[in-house]
Chains A and B, each alone.
Chain A
Amino acid sequence: MATSVLDHAPATHEKAPSGIWSWITTVDHKRIGILYGATAFLFFLIGGLEALFMRVQLMKPDNHFVSAETFNALFTMHGTTMIFLGVMPLSAMFFNFFIPLQIGARDVAFPRLNAFSYWVFLAGGLFINFSWLINAAPNTGWFGYANLTENQYSPGINTDFWVLGLQILGVASMAAAINFFVTIVNLRAPGMKMLRMPMFTWMSFITQILLLLAFPVITIALVFLMMDRHFGTHFFIPDGGGDPVLWQHLFWIFGHPEVYILILPAFGIVSEVLPVFSRKPLFGYTAMVFSGAFIAFLGFGVWSHHMFSTGMGPFADSFFALSTMLIAVPTGVKIFNWIGTLWGGSLQMKTPLYFAVGMVAMFIIGGLSGVMHSSPPADLQQTDTYFVVAHFHYVLFGGSIFGLTAGAYYWFPKMFGRMLNETIGKWHFWLMFIGFNVTFFPMHFLGLNGMPRRVYTYPAELNFEFWNQVQTWGSMLLGVSMLIFIYNIWKASRQPANAPADPWRGATLEWLIPSPPQEFNFGTVPTVGSSTPAWDLRRANGGDLPEPKPESGAGIHMPRPSYWPLVTAIGVLGVIGSILFTHAFHQWYFITLTGAAILIYGIYRWAFEPPF
């Protein structure tokens, strides 16, 4: 009694296609995951280069490695890239590949919508980075505060690239969020109640809910800004009665849930890795689920802690200070439960564990500086200084990136059928760990000593040079660690794909199928009796699991490939991107109409194409 979505009338199962066209038309969640991962990793490296250029510029006072204008573009694009083109799609790589596997499904609820999300993401990433090529990169910060972003102070198209790029990316995120939400709610294997789902799937589920509720708000904020810039309104322009602080509210109502979108998947990964490498169940599974949900829910009630310096008044300040402090509680529950998981465990000192433990440690530091920010009077000193830069890099790099890297080492064998090298992995870890801390820890000192954010240089008399130099050397070390990671991946790619199905003795369903999985994932959809089905099977089998044999897949009919998602994505790019041309020529709306025509045609062909 399988509940796989795609059990059908018998049909011959075709051999998996190869070649570029098969990738362009794929609707297979595993391939889409790999597309996300490869694309995101490239953007992540670009974002890293942007950071390195900034670090070189800041190495000494009154430096002229890059101009002030270029520096503005660098910190804007670094932030925008790392958040929207780095961490989010890297998480999406794991959502795509592993959510269906972890819940025992054969694919997501809407495979073509899944492909659409990827193509729109790619379009958005290329769109916003194209600006570099015409020397018009966004330069008003990743949070685009009004009214700096208005025509008066940002007359060029830099800000338009930013506004429109984010709108395009928003479409991708929203489509994917609906898809994964429905997948998790509706396609779970028999016996997999919600409270038996793996932690990664749970945290990803909460992340999708956050995406669904937060992205519409920034969509509207960006629409308002675009209307101000091109259609004569004054939503954020004081001369016309508008209030720039409204932008901040709308942005941060999105922006704070966004940071939980960035960290929750990494939390989920750590909650997968620690139990496996401690050979112990996760401590307090239910508490971990509910604390994740509570963090997300509370995350909607803290946004103005980004605005303590805007003069909201003592009542608002106090309210948001208290709600922010309150969020530390469920976060603390998670930290203690992770420690409780490790405690007394049989620790397998492998690379995934290193990165997972590193994540917990670094996140604690980032969380502590975060709690320091939650006090408005203290924050008045810290805000807009490097102290904040330290905080969010500890939680975003130390938290998200370390967590995602743990996931990469943990799941690489399942995705590619090859193991990453342990020795190289440990070199990667230590160099990254040391490089990271050398880069970002001194920022706490610089911040408290008064070094502002987003400045392209500083005078020598302020005595910022020493720590800035240290930080730059640290960032170089970080860069080296990244090269080592790339080397590890390259080396693994040269091996034959003969990794075992379950190299780590994992607890969840993905370890019960071959590495890499066959197109249909599960020959027979398993029935699940707990949150650790693979361990249950091992226990029933005397501790061993036979290597799963590839199955024929006869009688399983997978959705057919399609290029309509790509066509529709091009339509989206056309419609949204056309606004870039409102000042360039009078009939700019012809581009909009063309884009709309492609979009509508794509949707119709997609709707009426049989999915099987």
Chain B
Amino acid sequence: MDSHSQAHAEHAHPTPGLYLKIALILFVLTAFEVLAFEAGRGGLGAGLRPIFEPITVVLLVVLSAAKFALVAMFYMHLKQDPKLLANLFVFPILLAATIIATLIILFQYWRVVGAK
């Protein structure tokens, strides 16, 4: 691992215009999240509820993951930066997600089997 100038990494620098586009996309995705929530609980009419209620959680996960990725890749500059920095973020996120999932499963299981 030889040292190299940091100026190298800043090569393809995004413009304010791109940042604005990202901001607007984030805003729109947030609006979709709220719409998905509303649709799932019948706030947008009784007809949409049976369609959206079962998929609300999945939709929210996908939308928030997209927002997360956009902020990380563009605002936090991970797309252009050395891979090490992205790894410093991704690895703990994966571990965190695994722990959250495991705890949910462990506590659900307890409930399903009939708690002591």
Report if A and B touch in the complex (beta carbons < 8 A). Answer: yes
Docked-complex contact A312 and B109, CB < 8 angstroms: yes
Contacts A/B (CB < 8 Å), 12 sampled: A190-B2, A190-B3, A243-B107, A246-B107, A249-B103, A249-B106, A300-B95, A304-B106, A311-B116, A313-B109, A313-B110, A313-B113
Chain A nearest CB, measured from B114 CB (Å): 10
Docked-complex contact A194 and B109, CB < 8 angstroms: no
Instruction: Tell me the residues in window 225-273 of chain A with beta carbons closer than 8 Å to chain B beta carbons.
Output: 243, 245-246, 249, 253
Q: How many interface residues does B have (CB within 8 Å)?
A: 15
Chain B nearest CB, measured from A334 CB (Å): 23
Instruction: Give Cα A460 to B1, complex, Å.
Output: 66
Closest A residue to B96 by beta carbon equals A213
Q: Quick one: which of B1, B95, B99 contacts A194, CB cutoff 8 A?
A: B1
| B residues near A213, Cβ cutoff 8 Å | 92, 95
Docked-complex contact A316 and B109, CB < 8 angstroms: yes
| A residues near B3, Cβ cutoff 8 Å | 3, 190
Given known A-B contacts A185-B84, A249-B103, A253-B99, A193 and B1 have beta carbons under 8 A apart: yes
Instruction: Give Cα A253 to B96, complex, Å.
Output: 11
Instruction: Give Cα A212 to B99, complex, Å.
Output: 15
Instruction: Tell me the residues in window 26-65 of chain B with beta carbons closer than 8 Å to chain A beta carbons.
Output: none
Interface centre among B1, B92, B113, B116 (most CB of A within 10 A): B1
| B residues near A212, Cβ cutoff 8 Å | 92
Docked-complex contact A316 and B116, CB < 8 angstroms: no
Q: Quick one: which of A185, A193, A312 contacts B106, CB cutoff 8 A?
A: A312
| A residues near B107, Cβ cutoff 8 Å | 243, 246
Chain A nearest CB, measured from B115 CB (Å): 9
Given known A-B contacts A213-B92, A213-B95, A311-B116, A316 and B1 have beta carbons under 8 A apart: no
Known: A311-B116, A313-B110. 4 other contacts (CB 8 A): A212-B92, A243-B107, A245-B110, A313-B113
Instruction: Tell me the residues in window 82-108 of chain B with beta carbons closer than 8 Å to chain A beta carbons.
Output: 84, 92, 95, 98-99, 103, 106-107
Q: Does A21 belong to the interface (CB within 8 Å)?
A: no
Instruction: Give Cα A194 to B1, complex, Å.
Output: 8
Instruction: Give Cα A185 to B1, complex, Å.
Output: 10
Docked-complex contact B84 and A316, CB < 8 angstroms: no
Docked-complex contact A316 and B95, CB < 8 angstroms: no
| B residues near A313, Cβ cutoff 8 Å | 109-110, 113
Closest B residue to A209 by beta carbon equals B91
Chain A nearest CB, measured from B108 CB (Å): 11
| A residues near B109, Cβ cutoff 8 Å | 312-313, 315-316
Q: Point out residues on A near B: beta carbons under 8 Å.
A: 3, 185, 188, 190, 193-194, 212-213, 217, 243, 245-246, 249, 253, 300, 304, 311-313, 315-316
Chain A nearest CB, measured from B43 CB (Å): 29
Q: Point out residues on B near A: beta carbons under 8 Å.
A: 1-3, 84, 92, 95, 98-99, 103, 106-107, 109-110, 113, 116
Interface centre among B99, B107, B116 (most CB of A within 10 A): B99
Closest A residue to B113 by beta carbon equals A313
Instruction: Give Cα A291 to B110, complex, Å.
Output: 34
Instruction: Give Cα A213 to B2, complex, Å.
Output: 28
Closest A residue to B105 by beta carbon equals A316
Given known A-B contacts A194-B1, A213-B92, A316 and B99 have beta carbons under 8 A apart: no
Given known A-B contacts A188-B1, A190-B2, A194-B1, A316 and B106 have beta carbons under 8 A apart: yes
| A residues near B84, Cβ cutoff 8 Å | 185
Closest A residue to B109 by beta carbon equals A313
Chain A nearest CB, measured from B109 CB (Å): 5
Instruction: Give Cα A249 to B106, complex, Å.
Output: 10
Chain B nearest CB, measured from A214 CB (Å): 10
| B residues near A185, Cβ cutoff 8 Å | 84
| B residues near A194, Cβ cutoff 8 Å | 1
Closest B residue to A192 by beta carbon equals B1
Chain A nearest CB, measured from B59 CB (Å): 29
| B residues near A300, Cβ cutoff 8 Å | 95, 98-99
| B residues near A246, Cβ cutoff 8 Å | 107
Instruction: Give Cα A15 to B1, complex, Å.
Output: 35
| B residues near A3, Cβ cutoff 8 Å | 3
Chain B nearest CB, measured from A302 CB (Å): 11
| A residues near B92, Cβ cutoff 8 Å | 212-213
| B residues near A188, Cβ cutoff 8 Å | 1
Closest B residue to A297 by beta carbon equals B95
Chain A nearest CB, measured from B6 CB (Å): 12
Q: Which 9 A-B pairs have the closest CB atoms?
A: A313-B113, A313-B109, A311-B116, A193-B1, A3-B3, A316-B106, A213-B92, A249-B103, A213-B95
| A residues near B116, Cβ cutoff 8 Å | 311
| A residues near B2, Cβ cutoff 8 Å | 190
Closest B residue to A315 by beta carbon equals B109
Docked-complex contact A312 and B1, CB < 8 angstroms: no
| B residues near A217, Cβ cutoff 8 Å | 99
Instruction: Give Cα A315 to B113, complex, Å.
Output: 11
Instruction: Give Cα A311 to B99, complex, Å.
Output: 19
Interface centre among B95, B98, B103, B106 (most CB of A within 10 A): B106
Closest B residue to A300 by beta carbon equals B95
| A residues near B103, Cβ cutoff 8 Å | 249
| A residues near B110, Cβ cutoff 8 Å | 245, 311-313
Chain A nearest CB, measured from B92 CB (Å): 6
Chain A nearest CB, measured from B85 CB (Å): 11
| B residues near A253, Cβ cutoff 8 Å | 99
Closest A residue to B84 by beta carbon equals A185
Closest B residue to A212 by beta carbon equals B92
| B residues near A311, Cβ cutoff 8 Å | 110, 116
Closest A residue to B1 by beta carbon equals A193
Closest B residue to A316 by beta carbon equals B106
Instruction: Give Cα A245 to B110, complex, Å.
Output: 11
Instruction: Give Cα A313 to B98, complex, Å.
Output: 19
Instruction: Give Cα A185 to B3, complex, Å.
Output: 12
Instruction: Give Cα A316 to B109, complex, Å.
Output: 9
Instruction: Give Cα A315 to B106, complex, Å.
Output: 9
Instruction: Give Cα A313 to B1, complex, Å.
Output: 48
Chain A nearest CB, measured from B31 CB (Å): 32
Chain B nearest CB, measured from A157 CB (Å): 31
| B residues near A190, Cβ cutoff 8 Å | 2-3
Closest A residue to B2 by beta carbon equals A190
Chain B nearest CB, measured from A146 CB (Å): 15
| B residues near A304, Cβ cutoff 8 Å | 106
Instruction: Give Cα A194 to B2, complex, Å.
Output: 11
Instruction: Give Cα A531 to B68, complex, Å.
Output: 40
Chain B nearest CB, measured from A218 CB (Å): 13
